[in-house]
Structure 1
């Protein structure tokens, strides 16, 4: 029988140990591509790698696709931290795909607003950014300037309003807010459909994507759109005189969460990444780069940045989170009803 030398055994053992160490020092996450992923890298991932010496592998996958992958890989998930913006963490936690988080292991958790860390023990990760849905408006043409959702019905804005199709996530949240201020709720969207019908009769138009909003503001004399705060900044960077206001009746919120995937070997390292995501430094960076609203109460923003987001105790007080599970359960029926309403 061939004898294996002690040197060879030692070499193999060292190689195996080195491989295990390398695996332990690498985590895989998803991000949302484009400018978001660039900001994600700059504000969180690169500082994390520099601090820990770990490598972060990024899979570009939006929330729905990432959730589908997580479900499909239930027995052998690839992600260590998974990010959602559509509330998928609620269902993922119920299905056991996410691990509960001990708040004591997150040094920044105590500074995060209660609503953004309410269900850590159930496996729903903390929200580290918020897309606040309000009214984008041309601050030179819109007179008077809008301050409330009910202002969409002001005849002064006839022919100058842009609505976004509810197949768009932000469009859905904007519509549900229009429905709510007109007396509806998630069990009855007819008041919202009636309000939309009246807006269309007065000359409002419906678009499907954010670039179409920019086109309407730039070329077709649009003044007001119900959409996310970050897009007001996008329009302003394109040279359009655009401002953002939270409607007085409340602000629908799309919470962007960082979640700990169950069944992975390096959860301590993953928790460090989640902790950095909810730090005031990371959130200040995200707000500056993309105008997402912070969830850490200690985040400090320049005045020009704060004007574009839901900021501070007063700013987040009016945030509304429509039940993502109920939205998903009714999405198909609501889209059908919406399509019948806007067909003209």
Structure 2
């Protein structure tokens, strides 16, 4: 009896020592854009989503052009579940079958989005989750007056204190396209824009990057520059008295989209992630942290934030979107023409 008890006890001890592995969590693979953006992305979206659904999210830093290239290379065996774009690449990805269509009824937040944020769904593109508006940045302490229109760039009051951004920069390209539009041109006819820029070159500095823009406002007596609303906030955080103006003629913008990758097994979870990204709370967070404008009309913003983004029906009505496919097709020739112009 004692022997049997000992044997039984030993068996129970061995059984209790066996560790049953925990069930593997569901997992999503997404891209983000690195730096401060990715830090906020993790804070507002990725980590809260992981906690809410008890899943893992692997983040791969890949900017939009690189993300599209990776989707193309992986078409036979995609590795991403959700892909974020900020340069209109969702149009190309949808046409090439790299991303899957999403129905509005599959997203609980779709009904609260502005029309511009969901109009791409019918083409198989993902929804817009945030907007980086392009307008006029000005030094409120030094500029002789507050600009109101894109046409004010040619006002002699700002002569010798203008900063333009190279069209190889996405913000610079949108600024140029808007100047071209104001002067009567379009994507098929950029001549008015180039003539208008030529008339400014003797009284303007041309930069290529955001840090160069900051340096000109900080050290080189810049008063006015076409650029992004979110960067105006970055400059203010750096102690510069820079304000953003949504110009009367319209506001071009970078539309940030979140897209469902085709031919992946866990698309239901991926759609939950996309829907989570569209929530008013998340979008209010983007506005507060980085001054990205919300695409969800139910996002509630504090007054100091609301006045620094595109917020509300009237402001949203001023947004302009240049056809991203046409822009992509024209980009190389515009960049080449720009280089020749500023080299003179």
Name the TM-score, length of structure 2 as normaliser. 0.93
The answer for the alignment partner of 1:31 in structure 2 is 32
Secondary structure of 1:78's counterpart equals: coil
Please list, as runs of the form range in 1=range in 2, the aligned pairs for 1:1-344 lying within 5 A after superposition.
18=23, 21-22=24-25, 25-201=26-202, 203-344=203-344
1:74-122 deviations in Å (ceiling 9; x for gaps): 0111110000000000010011111110211111000001111112143
Distance 1:41 1:121 in 2: 29
How many residues in Structure 1 have an aligned counterpart in Structure 2? 325
Distance 1:266 1:91 in 2: 23
Q: Do the aligned partners of 1:101 and 1:260 also contact (CA within 8 Å) in 2?
A: yes
1:38-83 deviations in Å (ceiling 9; x for gaps): 1111111111111100111000000000000000000111110000
5+ long unaligned stretches in structure 1:
1-13
Name the TM-score, length of structure 1 as normaliser. 0.93
Distance 2:218 2:120 in 1: 42
Secondary structure of 1:340's counterpart equals: helix
1:280-328 deviations in Å (ceiling 9; x for gaps): 0000000111000000000111121112211111111010111111111
Distance 1:180 1:68 in 2: 31
Q: Do the aligned partners of 1:128 and 1:295 also contact (CA within 8 Å) in 2?
A: yes
5+ long unaligned stretches in structure 2:
1-19
Distance 2:304 2:164 in 1: 26
Distance 1:310 1:252 in 2: 11
Q: Do the aligned partners of 1:123 and 1:260 also contact (CA within 8 Å) in 2?
A: no
Greater than 6 Å deviation, 4+ residue runs: none
Q: CA deviation at 1:143?
A: 1.8
The answer for the alignment partner of 1:8 in structure 2 is none
